[in-house]
Structure 1
Amino acid sequence: MKMFCPECGSTDKEMVGDVCIDCFLKEFQMLELPKRIEVQICSHCNSKLEEGKWSDEFIPEEEIIFRALERNVEVADEVTDENVSLEIKQIKGTIATCGVEIVGKVHGTEIEESHETEVKILKTVCPTCSKVQSGYYESVIQFRADKREIKSEEYDKADEIVERTLIKQSKKDKLAYCPQIARLKEGRDYYIGSLKSGKKVAEALTEEFGGVIKESPRLISEDKSTGKGLYRIWISVRIPEFEVGDFVKYEEKIMKVTSIGKSSVVGEDISTNKKHNIPMKNMEDIELVKRSSEVETTTIISKSPSIIQILDPSDYSAVDLEMKEEFTDYNIGDEIKLIKIDNYIYLID
Structure 2
Amino acid sequence: MSEAAFCPRCGDSVPEGATGHTRRERALCNDCYFEDFELVDAPERVEVTVCAHCGAVERGNRWEDVGARDYTDVAIESVSEALGVHVDAEDVSWGVDPEQVDETTIRMHCQFSGVVRGEPLVEEFTVPVKIAKQTCQRCGRIAGDYYASVVQVRAVGDRTPTSEETERAREIAEEITESMEATGDRNAFVTEVTEKPEGLDLKLSDTKIGKNVARKLTEELGGAYDSSETLVTEDEDGNEVYRVTFAIRLPEFVPGDVIDLADDDEGPVLVRSVQGNLKGVRLTTGEPFEATHEVGDAPDARKLGTRADGEETTLVAVEDENAVQVLDPETYASVTVARPDYLDTDETEVPVLKSRAGIHVLPS
**TM-score between both structures, scaled by the size of structure 1:** 0.74
Shift of 1:346: 7.4
Q: 1:103–1:112: 8 Å Cα contact kept in structure 2? A: yes
Provide the residue aligned with 1:247 in structure 2: 259
Given the alignment, which residue of 30, 42, 47 partners 1:33? Answer: 42
Provide the residue aligned with 1:258 in structure 2: 271
Instruction: Supply the AA of the counterpart residue of 1:186.
Output: E
Instruction: Supply the AA of the counterpart residue of 2:198.
Output: E
Provide the residue aligned with 2:332 in structure 1: none
Provide the residue aligned with 1:267 in structure 2: 280
Provide the residue aligned with 1:231 in structure 2: 242
Q: Does 1:107 align with 2:117?
A: yes
Alpha-carbon distance in 2 for matches of 1:257, 1:306 = 21
Q: 1:94–1:121: 8 Å Cα contact kept in structure 2? A: yes
Alpha-carbon distance in 2 for matches of 1:196, 1:287 = 34
Q: 1:339–1:348: 8 Å Cα contact kept in structure 2? A: no
Alpha-carbon distance in 1 for matches of 2:49, 2:109 = 20
Provide the residue aligned with 2:108 in structure 1: 98
- Cα 1:47–1:4, aligned 2, differ >3 Å: closer, same or farther? same
Moved more, 262-271 or 158-167: 158-167
Shift of 1:276: 2.6
SS at match of 2:203: strand
Provide the residue aligned with 1:79 in structure 2: 89
Provide the residue aligned with 2:22 in structure 1: none
Alpha-carbon distance in 2 for matches of 1:140, 1:205 = 14
Aligned Cα RMSD in Å? 4.4
- Cα 1:137–1:41, aligned 2, differ >3 Å: closer, same or farther? same
Moved more, 274-283 or 61-70: 274-283
Provide the residue aligned with 2:12 in structure 1: 11
Shift of 1:202: 4.4
Provide the residue aligned with 2:227 in structure 1: 216
Moved more, 101-110 or 160-169: 160-169
- Cα 1:126–1:215, aligned 2, differ >3 Å: closer, same or farther? farther
Shift of 1:120: 0.8
- Superposed CA deviations along residues 24-55 of structure 1, whole A, max 9, x for unmatched, are 21221011111111111111111111121111
Q: 2:155–2:251: 8 Å Cα contact kept in structure 1? A: yes
- Cα 1:91–1:170, aligned 2, differ >3 Å: closer, same or farther? farther
Q: 1:182–1:190: 8 Å Cα contact kept in structure 2? A: yes
Shift of 1:227: 5.1
- Cα 1:263–1:62, aligned 2, differ >3 Å: closer, same or farther? farther
Moved more, 93-102 or 172-181: 172-181
**TM-score between both structures, scaled by the size of structure 2:** 0.71
SS at match of 1:29: coil
- Cα 1:24–1:257, aligned 2, differ >3 Å: closer, same or farther? same
SS at match of 1:66: helix
Instruction: Supply the AA of the counterpart residue of 1:288.
Output: A
Provide the residue aligned with 2:289 in structure 1: 276
Provide the residue aligned with 2:30 in structure 1: 21
Given the alignment, which residue of 52, 56, 61 partners 2:61? Answer: 52
Provide the residue aligned with 2:127 in structure 1: 117
Alpha-carbon distance in 2 for matches of 1:178, 1:328 = 49
How many percent of aligned residue pairs carry the same amino acid? Answer: 20
Q: Does 1:192 align with 2:214?
A: no
- Superposed CA deviations along residues 271-303 of structure 1, whole A, max 9, x for unmatched, are 54211344899556412223217999xxx9x99
SS at match of 1:58: coil
Given the alignment, which residue of 58, 67, 71 partners 1:61? Answer: 71
